Amino acid sequence: MKKILIIESNTQKACENIEEYNALRYSELFKKLINILGDYEIDIICPMFKNFLMPSIKDLKKYKAILITGSALCVNDAEVNIQMKLCEKAFVSKTPIYGSCFGFQLAVKVAGGEVYSDKSVYEIGILENLQLTKEGAKHFLFKNISTKSFCTHKDYVKKIPLNSQVLAFNNFYEVQAIEISYMGGIFVGVQYHPEFDNNQMISTYNRLKNILLENKTFENEKDFEEEIKRIQDYEINIQKNEIKNFLDSLS
């Protein structure tokens, strides 16, 4: 049985807030999906929780893969330094790494890229018009899938690291998926959330409702409720996505 490590990137308070809105904390959402996709032994660590013990590189080498979740944090926050160190150790361990959203941005920054925040502009809801680059079209991450995913983020990649390849983009932003080679390790990840199901996306909307109305992502309550209905009716197949392809690529 392949042993998988999931890194929960949220604080304990943020995890509890997600659960208050009847959704799963991100590490449990990853775990739920991975258990659907196959038979894996899964460990979860939470670097933003109290009493976290940093694993050694030797510890990380025991895993077939490391997956880094999304987060309400920004990779430029000082408190994220512990996650930066953990991600660098993951690269050095040479264990294959995957990340969604924050996990994607974290790997970019650790490897020398740049990320910026724009709280006035959310890419949120149904991921629209994803297009593959030449490299993405032949990459295992997108093999035999037609991406239908949800997204929610206000942070964006400003500069990609050296030794990296952009795999996908859309009309909203030019870096939606990437592969990074750094310190002997390989990271692949996406800016969006293949692990999200409809309930998780609706919960996210409800949790962020006031912010989204204030920044005019939605003009009014009617527009917001129409979007919720659109999410409810949107059909996705979480058993056939980028995370499955990543896990299938493991030796």
- CATH code at position 26: 3.40.50.880
Q: Give the count of domains, the chain.
A: 1
Q: How far apart are CA 89 and CA 94, in angstroms?
A: 9
pLDDT at 164: 98
Mean pLDDT across the stretch 143-159?
92
Show the domain range for 91. 2-248
Q: How far apart are CA 46 and CA 27, in angstroms?
A: 9
pLDDT at 122: 87
Per-residue model confidence as pLDDT tens digits over 10-24: 999 999 999 999 999
pLDDT at 104: 98
Does position 146 have pLDDT exceeding 80, yes or no?
no
pLDDT at 234: 95
Q: How confident is the model at residue 87 (pLDDT cuts 50, 70, 90)?
A: very high
pTM for the model: 0.97
Per-residue model confidence as pLDDT tens digits over 101-123: 999 999 999 999 999 998 778 89
DSSP secondary structure string for all residues of the chain: -EEEEEE--S-HHHHHHHHHTT---HHHHHHHHHHHH--EEEEEE-TTSTT--PPPHHHHTT-SEEEE---SS-TTSGGGHHHHHHHHHHHHHT--EEEETHHHHHHHHHTT-EEEE-TT--EEEE----EE-HHHHTSGGGTT-----EEEESEEEEEPPTTEEEEEE-SS-S-SEEEEEETTEEEEEESSBTT--HHHHHHHHHHTHHHHHHTTSSSSHHHHHHHHHHHHH----TTSSHHHHHHHT--
Per-residue model confidence as pLDDT tens digits over 164-215: 999 999 999 999 999 999 999 999 999 999 999 999 999 999 999 999 999 9
